Structure 1
Amino acid sequence: MTTKFLDRLSNDLTQLLEDPIDYNVSIEVGEAPNNQIFKIHSYILQSRSPYFKNKFNETSFNDDHVKVLKLHDISVKAFDIIIKYIYGGIISLEKLENSIIFDLLIASNELELNELVEHLQTHLVNNNASWLRLNFVQIYLTSYRAKNFKIIQDFCYDIITKHPNTIFESENFLSLPEDALISIIKQDDLQLEESKIWEYVIQWGEAKNSTLPTNLTEWTSSDFLTLKETLKNCFTHIRYFNISGDDVVEKIFPYEQLLERQLFLDINSKIMAPSKPISSIILPPRKILTKTLPTRNASARLSSQIITDEHALEISSWIDKKEIPYTENNPYKFELLVRGSRDGFDVSTIYNICDQISNTVVILKLEGTEEILGGYNPLGWDKNNNQWKSTQDSFTFSLKTANLENSILSRVNDGDVSNEIGYHLSESWFSFGYTLVLRGNLKISKKCYCKIDEDYKKPIRSAEFLSPTICPPPSDKVTFSVEEYEIFKITKRNDLQ
């Protein structure tokens, strides 16, 4: 019978790390002035990490019989967690922010700690999928470049194939590397019409050649040749023979010069004489799902640059006063009314667009802190009356992000309260009590603030950012500006069973 005393072994080795007797390696981690020196033992590191084994073989001892390494691209916090894992085989992720866990994953991959790389990926996918979706493009690009992040890559491809707009309509789409774009358009189950894939590929290629004329009628043969060269590796993955005749005429014909002559003739031949043999390779049609995609991503598609579907489900559950958040089939439609970057950031703009509209959600992404604050207003906006209105159904919130483990919900206090919603267009402010106050130009004025308020049950920001007074000066740290804001009209859906 074999007995393993692993806990004692882990504890003893961890103690050796804390009191590094006979250490022979010094590793400088991080950038000055926040760098830190770790004194460790080469035999332990090289037995656990192929990266360190190779590094130690390449590095000579100095006069003090110590090998000196520098790891400036890994944070001190991440390396401290990793080195304790290497020595003691123990890691705790419960109190770590998701962004730190992801940095930890990147560092673990660099140090070739495959066991830890797999564990961290599994943890993120199983426990923090909403955070991965919130930072989807960054996560996808990082995981694609890493090559060793198969679990997260599979997670990303599942989202991309089922909901391709996640990547194709993102602001980072045009900056995708060629191989990343090809890996997407190669997917057999990409849920996108082939003509749309063609359009996105053309759009991507044109973005890579900024000198091309904006008007296609002004293009020369040289312009077409330039784009053809850019997209030659993408074109082999377009399934031309699954594009309708109408779309071929409208979308392919204007770019005839991009295609090889025989391919263009065969595309035309298939339209005019479908049974006639052709010489071009015919790729199989994509596996378009016959069943409807999850309802919350179909007829209730969320048009937001700030919140995720999971955030919308959480807000909807608050509207319905559910203790357990909805996980799918959002019962509400979020119709975008106002977006700061599109319509303007002044409070007066909101009043003019939203006047007399009820059941709205205000979403704010704060400048500098990445906080997402907001509130639900069941009453109609009123630009003609400066007044306070009473309602028991409004609430404010701070949504879960990379820097906030759980969302904060603040409902109206029970009892005789009357200042839940405040309107004052003439002084350019709107207010959920004083728990969330919007003033002036939300982007440049830096007049918005949060305060402990008797009308709402709890504050939605940490104590250091709560104003002790009404209308603090813009110079105060408790005031904030917004990077972006959105307002949605919330309506019941009629397409659910």
Structure 2
Amino acid sequence: METQFYDRLSNDLTQLLENGVNYDVSIEVGEEDANIYKVHSIILQSRSIYFKKKFDEIIFNDDRVKVLKLPNISVKVFDVIIKYIYGGKFSMEKLKNSVIFDLLIASNELELDELVKHLQTHLIDNCSSWLRLKFSQIYRTSYQVKNLEIIQDFCNDIIAKYPNTIFESENFHSLPEGALISILKRDDLQLEESLIWENIIEWGKAKNPTLPTKLDKWTSEHFSSLKETLKECLPHIRFFNISGEDVVKKIYPYQQILNQQLFLDINSKFITPSKPISSVVLPPRNILNTTRNESTPFSSNIITNEHALEISSWIDKKETPYIENNPYVFKLLVRGSRDGFDVKTIYNLCDKVTKTVIILKLEGTGEILGGYNPREWNNDQNKWKYTENCFAFSLKTAKMKNSILSRVVKNFGYAICNSPWDSTLRFGNVLHLKANLKTKKKCFCVVSTTYSKPIRSDELVSPKVHKPSDVSREFLFSVEEYEVFKILTRNNLK
């Protein structure tokens, strides 16, 4: 029977590191205030191929010491790594998630495969919320750096289920080609093929910033440039699962980037469906009709499940947004196209109802604005409502790349204006709703000190005014559709 004394071995080697006796390598870590580590080449070479290759390249100085500089690795990260190399012990206690991720990148650079696998698994098992919060950055890095397949798979699973996580990200256009192709290959990507096509076109255009903005200005050379950019992506588009209407509307304008035979076959499919074609026909994606509503069963003509999850995270004041398993159900109370667009309708149908979210889709711009009121609405009195927990917002869309959250931060007694007698509903001045939302065009947003920030871009927000009638017409808007939801916790659905 073999007896193993690993603890003693680990402690002795760690002591050797701390003493620096007989060291033959000096490693300078960090840029400013670099820290010097006196280490032993024989130990580092035996533990890492990276160090073996590096030390073979470096010659001894006059003191018989080899000097290696690692300016891109922080002292905090390297301190953990070098203790692992010597003692085989590894502690992430009290390390921030961002430092653990930096630790992963550094371990990968130093070819510490055991550590790379361990750190990826740790991040997914224990820091998944943080990974989702930093999703775009993490996903992009996982494809820029080799050997992060575990992180890649985790990200791809999220994208397949919630594609807007990446397609509506402000960093989508900078997504590496390999990452984009890995998404396109997914049979379970939960996005209509015509929308996938639109996103691919926009990604390709971003890679060719000199292309004219207007398509009617494009020459054959412009189409050739886009075709070359997208040549590895196009084979993964399921063209034969796009409706005829979308083919005419979205594919025809870019027909020059398609192989001629493919374009003929796409046309043939709609003209003579039974006629054989020579192009490869990829199977349809496995779109799950229940996916959008699995975690939040609600019916909305304006917002998606991802939007609902984001609003729920704001209600709970979560720094990390919910990605799935919404703790709330959105119960539809009012819809403009069904119940009427006058603000008085909201008061009548939501009388004495607490915890409501109002969602507005603006006419013309497609912006989605709204607000959350934890207090009840009253249809029989005009009064200001005191609350510290309400907020207004705008939600990300194809045109609006990031959502905006504006919480009430002071003057809490003027957070919500409940004013049914003059058909007015206000979240301070940050969102002012008036009269018939669809026909009167009397709604607006004003610069407010009660709320943390404007929920529209600066040019669409009115400066402060003495009274609502002083707001200039250029800042007024009407509503294409609106909805009001009661927010219910899942254990109290009555």
TM class, shorter-length: 0.5 to 0.7
Are residue 92 (structure 1) and residue 91 (structure 2) matched?
A: yes
The alpha carbon displacement at 1:442 in A equals 4.2
Is this contact kept in 1: 2:296–2:328, CA < 8 A?
no
Matches within 5 A, 1:363-382: 378-379=374-375
Per-residue CA deviations over 1:438-490 (Å, capped at 9, x if unaligned) read 9478469xxxxxxxxxxxxxxxxxxxxxxxxxxxxxxxxxxxxxxxxxxx987
Contact between 1:388 and 1:420, CA under 8 Å: does it hold in 2?
A: no
The answer as to whether partners of 2:354 and 2:486 remain within 8 angstroms in 1 is: no
Alignment of 1:423 with 2:423, yes or no, is: no
What residue is the counterpart of 1:117 in the other structure?
116
User: What is the CA-CA distance between 1:178 and the residue it aligns to?
Assistant: 2.1
In structure 1, the residue matched to 2:203 is: 204
Matched, 1:157 2:156: yes
2:487 maps to which of 475, 489, 492: 492
Distance 1:127 1:311, change over 3 A: farther
- Quick one: which amino acid aligns to residue 325 of structure 2? E
In structure 2, the residue matched to 1:301 is 305
Q: Deviation at 1:20?
A: 1.0
Report if the CA contact (8 A) 1:213-1:219 is conserved: yes
Contact 1:313-1:327 at 8 Å conserved across structures: no
1:416 maps to none
Equivalences for residues 41-52 of structure 1 within 5 A: 41-52=40-51
Q: Is the 8 A contact 2:162 2:306 kept in 1?
A: no
- Could you say if the C-alpha distance between residues 103 and 494 of structure 1 is closer, same or farther in structure 2, counting changes exceeding 3 Å? closer
Instruction: Give the percent of matched residue pairs that are identical in Structure 1 and Structure 2.
Output: 59
The 5-angstrom pairing of residues 368-407 of structure 1 reads: 378-379=374-375, 389=386
CA distance in 1: counterparts of 2:84 and 2:323, whole angstroms: 37
- Could you say which residue in structure 2 is the equivalent of 1:22? 22
Shift of 1:45: 0.7
Preserved CA contact (<8 Å) 1:29 1:72: yes
- Report matched runs for 1:30-429 at 5 Å: 30-32=30-32, 34-289=33-288, 291-293=290-292, 295-296=294-295, 299=298, 301-303=305-307, 311=313, 314-315=316-317, 328-333=325-330, 359=355, 378-379=374-375, 389=386, 421-423=412-414
Shift in CA distance, 294/377, structure 1 to aligned 2, threshold 3 Å: closer
SS of alignment partner, residue 56 of structure 1: helix
Give the aligned partner of residue 472 of structure 2.
none
Deviation at 1:165, TM superposition (A): 0.7
Displacement of 1:334 in angstroms is 11
Q: 1:217 to 1:326 in 2, by over 3 A?
A: closer
Q: How far has the Cα of 1:87 moved from its partner?
A: 0.8
Work out the CA distance in 2 between the residues paired with 1:14 and 1:107: 20
SS at match of 1:229: helix
Using the TM superposition, name which of 80-89 and 250-259 deviates more: 250-259
Aligned equivalents of 2:76 and 2:316: distance in 1? Answer: 32
The Cα of 1:78 is off from its aligned counterpart by 0.2
Report Cα offsets for 1:285-320 as digits up to 9, x if no partner.
22333653563367462439xx9688458559xxxx
1:83-115 superposed Cα distances (whole Å, 9 cap, x missing partner): 011111111113110000000000000001111
In 1, Cα distance between equivalents of 2:93 and 2:202: 43
Contact 1:302 1:334 in 2 (8 A): no
Distance 1:244 1:174 in 2: 26
**1:245, 1:424 → 2: CA distance?**
49
Q: Which runs of 5+ in 2 are unaligned?
A: 299-303, 333-351, 358-370, 392-409, 417-426, 430-447, 455-482
CA distance in 2, matches of 1:35, 1:246: 62
Is contact 2:296-2:325 (8 Å) kept?
A: no
Runs of at least 5 residues in structure 1 that lack an aligned partner in the other structure:
317-324, 336-355, 362-374, 397-418, 431-437, 445-487
| Matched position secondary structure for 1:233 | coil
Q: Distance in 2 between matches of 1:212 and 1:442?
A: 39
Instruction: Give the TM-score taking structure 2 as reference length.
Output: 0.67
For 2:247 and 2:232, locate their aligned partners in 1 and report how far apart those are by CA, in whole Å: 20
Q: For residue 183 of structure 1, what is the amino acid of its counterpart?
A: S
Structure 1 position 63, deviation (Å): 1.0
For 1:74 and 1:9, how far apart are their aligned partners in 2?
A: 27
- Secondary structure at the aligned position of 1:285 is classed as coil
The SS at the match of 2:250 is helix
* TM-aligned CA deviation for residue 54 of structure 1: 0.9
Determine if contact 1:313/1:328 at 8 Å carries over to the other structure.
Answer: no
Task: Find the aligned partners of 2:315 and 2:147 in 1 and give their Cα distance.
Answer: 32
Paired residues, what number? Answer: 378
- The whole-number CA distance in structure 2 between the counterparts of 1:100 and 1:40 is 23
Q: CA RMSD in A?
A: 3.9
Give the AA of the match of 2:205: E
Contact 1:56 1:67 (8 Å CA) reproduced? yes
* Cross-structure match for 2:4: 4
User: Per the alignment, do residues 251 and 327 of structure 1 end up closer, same or farther by CA in structure 2, a change over 3 Å counting?
Assistant: closer
One-letter amino acid of the counterpart of residue 166, structure 1: T
Q: CA deviation at 1:225?
A: 2.2
